[in-house]
Amino acid sequence: MTDTKVFLLDGGSLVLDGYHVFWNRGPGGEVRFPVYSILIEHRDGRFLIDTGYDYDHVMKVLPFEKPIQSKEQTIPGALALLGLAPKDVGVVVNSHFHFDHVGGNKFFPHAKKICHRDEIAQAITPQPFEVLGYSDLSFSKQAADARNASQQLLAGTSADNSTFEGVTGDIELAKGVTLIFTPGHAIGHYSLLVEFSNRKPILFTIDASYTQKSLETLCQASFHVDPVQGVASMRRLKQLAEQHGAELMYSHDMENYKTYRTGTEFYG
Ligand code: 5PN
Ligand code: ZN
Ligand code: ZN
């Protein structure tokens, strides 16, 4: 297990209006988009970036997003396709704490958990327009307790096993695995650059750019805390992709996602 491999864990799909996906641009109408997590097998261990959405949470709080998620599209189900279980993952990183990126954290009480330092306070005290985004608090006893949502916690979730290491700026987690600070969509949002020995790097925009068209038109999603920072982050991603000769991969782009390797297929 020396050469880095990247697996995409399919997490099902959700629906938003086109004006949410493409802020003030549209076109309107239902857009069904994928949700996935990124599993990195590295000589230093297994890193999981994001954990998708929790079906029951979405049906309870955001049923209008019409979740479709099979058993194989839950985090334990997607890992099982690879012959793995949650306990095989040593480090969980959350790009940010929106509900569609934290839903499976509850399966990793044993793992080291990493996020941007400022996301923790933001999930506890979001801006009024961010409350729905930060509505699944099952990833953190501290956050759930602070928002009177402790009923969301899975039995066994404690302050000890849901504590995060907060980091800032760009940070290399392991050789060739770098979190790129791209604020705007969320206050502590991270994109992800993965470098390989035998292929070009992959730059995962995560939610700094939902789709390829988003980046081409510098049109971010309507969910953001600072749209000016959001545009700057998109420009930075374009620059980084060019500088590193990286392939760009988007978080919520159904057309491109259909061409991505999922299940037992991998990059590396
Ligand atoms: C998929 C999705 N739906 C709603 C929100 C929101 O209110 O903030 C972030 C977000 C989403 O990613
Ligand atoms: Zn988001
Ligand atoms: Zn998202």
Share of the chain above pLDDT 90, in %: 99
Q: Is the pLDDT of residue 2 over 90?
A: no
Ligand that comes closest to the CA of residue 20: 1
DSSP state of 152: G
Tokens coding 51: 């954990």
Place of tokens 């297994």: 46
In angstroms, what is the span from residue 88 Cα to ligand 1's centroid?
29
Residue 106 structural domain = 5-257
**Burial (CB count <10 Å: 0-12, 13-18, 19+), residue 216:** exposed
Q: For the domain that residue 114 is a member of, what is the CATH number?
A: 3.60.15.10
Q: Can you list the positions of beta strands (E) in 18-160?
A: 30-42, 45-49, 91-93, 112-116
Q: Identify the residues whose C-beta falls under 6 Å from ligand 1.
A: 14, 16, 65, 98, 100, 132-133, 223
Which ligand 1 atom lies nearest to the CA of residue 252? 1
In angstroms, what is the span from residue 142 Cα to ligand 3's centroid?
22
Instruction: Judge whether 10 counts as a catalytic residue.
Output: no
Q: Is 268 within a domain? A: no
Q: Is 251 within a domain? A: yes
Place of tokens 């971010």: 220
pLDDT value, residue 116: 98
Q: Is the pLDDT of residue 1 over 90?
A: no
Q: Is 264 within a domain? A: no
Ligand that comes closest to the CA of residue 97: 2
Pair 31, 14: CB distance under 8 Å: no
Q: Is 262 within a domain? A: no
Q: Is 19 within a domain? A: yes
Q: Is 208 within a domain? A: yes
Q: For residue range 58-107, what is the model confidence (pLDDT) as tens digits?
A: 999 999 999 999 999 999 999 999 999 999 999 999 999 999 999 999 99
Helix (H, G, I), strand (E, B) or coil at 215: helix
pLDDT value, residue 18: 98
**Residue nearest to ligand 1 atom 11, measured at CA:** 133
Integer angstrom CA distances of residue 93 from 16, 32, 115: 25, 25, 6
Which ligand 1 atom lies nearest to the CA of residue 101? 12
Q: Ligand 1, from 55, 99, 102, 205: best to mutate by most atoms within 8 Å of Cβ?
A: 99
Pair 104, 52: CB distance under 8 Å: yes
| Total tally of structural domains belonging to the chain | 1
Is the alpha carbon torsion for 14, 15, 18, 24 positive or negative? negative
Ligand that comes closest to the CA of residue 66: 1
DSSP state of 246: P
pLDDT value, residue 219: 98
Which ligand 1 atom lies nearest to the CA of residue 100? 12
Q: For residue range 226-258, what is the model confidence (pLDDT) as tens digits?
A: 999 999 999 999 999 999 999 999 999 999 999
How far apart (Å, rounded) are the C-alpha atoms in residues 194 and 68?
A: 29
Which residues have CB less than 5 Å away from ligand 3 (the ion)? 100, 207
pLDDT band at 208 (very low <50, low <70, confident <90, very high): very high
Q: Is 266 within a domain? A: no
Pair 116, 188: CB distance under 8 Å: yes
Averaged confidence pLDDT in the chain: 98
pLDDT band at 142 (very low <50, low <70, confident <90, very high): very high
For residue 179, what are the β-bridge partners?
171, 192
Q: Which of 10, 50, 54, 100 is catalytic?
A: 100
Q: Is 239 within a domain? A: yes
Rounded mean pLDDT, 129-154:
98
